[in-house]
């Protein structure tokens, strides 16, 4: 049975505890100077070869020799190596596309949240991964700040059918972040957002906790009158952050 298409419902806000605001960017001119490695505090290490070569050229031009000792009032012009630009973090948005999400109307809310998360990721220059899991298995779509429209289209096209292969989806999310972590500095914080109602028919067999350098957040989308609270238990089992979709607000339908 093909997935049933669902229209997204927009959310009003995302709490700071779930998605911190992006860091303020430096002015373009200072950023360019930092990339070139010149004239800015905190740039890369001193390039002594380039520094001494510059001094030699200045001395030859002024027909003066290079002094053996640099006077404090007349310091040399230090050349610095360009700093390596940090690779962007990866945000993985995992959306439960099961039949239970369709029946309760939760998938429409999940798609609205996914859109907002993608826009926040673009403002933070993060790499995007969309993991959709349901009756058709687990599927991954990629995106970036430069491919925002394509990523939005992938979210818009999500439909719902079948069961909830939660464990395979989580393993895939962890694999994506672990692979990215091997390519980025230890200080880079990757993020996984799991959007699910937690209603799984099979026994709950979750993989290990998220890889180092990865923050996992569970967004509970159980919206019906009878709530089992399984998403909260999943978050506790994974040592993940937890927020219910009711606290995010809804705009339109």
Task: Please check whether residue 9 lies inside any domain of the structure.
Answer: no
How far is the C-alpha of 153 from the C-alpha of 157, rounded, in Å? Answer: 6
Task: Please check whether residue 160 lies inside any domain of the structure.
Answer: yes
Q: Who's near 74: CB < 8 A, 6+ residues apart?
A: none
| Whether 70 and 139 share a structural domain | no
Contact between 117 and 19 under an 8 Å Cβ cutoff? The reply is yes
Q: Which of 69, 85, 101 is the last residue of a domain?
A: 85
Q: In sequence order, what E strands does 36-158 have?
A: 90-97, 127-134, 137-143
Q: Please tell me whether the overall predicted TM-score, pTM, comes out greater than 0.75 for this model.
A: no
| Whether 111 and 235 share a structural domain | yes
Taking the CA of residue 35 as centre, how many other CA atoms within 13 Å lie in the half-sphere pointing to its CB?
9
Task: Please check whether residue 50 lies inside any domain of the structure.
Answer: yes
| Whether 149 and 247 share a structural domain | yes
Task: Please check whether residue 2 lies inside any domain of the structure.
Answer: no
Q: Over its length of 253 residues, how does the chain's per-residue pLDDT go in tens digits?
A: 456 555 666 666 676 767 766 655 555 544 544 444 443 334 567 777 877 887 777 777 665 444 544 444 445 577 776 655 556 789 999 999 999 999 888 999 999 999 999 888 888 888 899 999 998 899 998 766 566 778 888 898 888 888 889 999 999 999 999 888 887 776 678 899 999 999 887 767 777 677 888 899 999 999 878 888 999 999 998 889 999 988 887 654 4
Contact between 129 and 92 under an 8 Å Cβ cutoff? The reply is yes
Report the domain count for the chain.
Answer: 2
| Whether 118 and 58 share a structural domain | no
Its domain, for residue 68, covers: 21-85
């Amino acid at each position: 049975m093909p997935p049933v298409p669902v229209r997204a419902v927009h959310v009003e806000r995302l709490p700071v505890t779930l998605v911190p605001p992006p860091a303020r960017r430096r002015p373009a001119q200072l950023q360019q100077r930092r990339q070139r490695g010149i004239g800015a505090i905190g740039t890369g290490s001193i390039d002594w070869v380039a520094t001494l070569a510059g001094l030699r050229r200045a001395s030859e031009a002024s027909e003066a020799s290079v002094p053996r000792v640099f006077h404090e009032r007349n310091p040399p012009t230090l050349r610095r190596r360009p700093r390596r630009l940090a690779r962007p973090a990866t945000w993985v948005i995992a959306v439960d596309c099961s039949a239970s999400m369709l029946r309760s109307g939760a998938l429409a809310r999940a798609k609205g949240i996914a859109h907002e998360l993608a826009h926040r990721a673009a403002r933070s220059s993060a790499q995007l991964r969309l993991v959709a899991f349901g009756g058709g298995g687990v599927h991954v779509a990629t995106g970036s700040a430069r491919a925002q429209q394509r990523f939005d289209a992938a979210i818009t096209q999500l439909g719902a059918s079948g069961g909830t292969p939660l464990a395979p989806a989580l393993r895939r999310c962890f694999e994506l972040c672990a692979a990215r972590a091997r390519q980025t500095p230890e200080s880079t914080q990757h993020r996984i957002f799991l959007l699910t109602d937690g209603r799984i028919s099979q026994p709950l067999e979750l993989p290990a906790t998220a890889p180092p350098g990865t923050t996992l957040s569970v967004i509970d989308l159980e919206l019906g009158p009878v709530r089992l609270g399984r998403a909260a238990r999943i978050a506790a089992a994974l040592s993940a952050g937890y927020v219910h979709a009711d606290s995010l607000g809804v705009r339109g339908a």
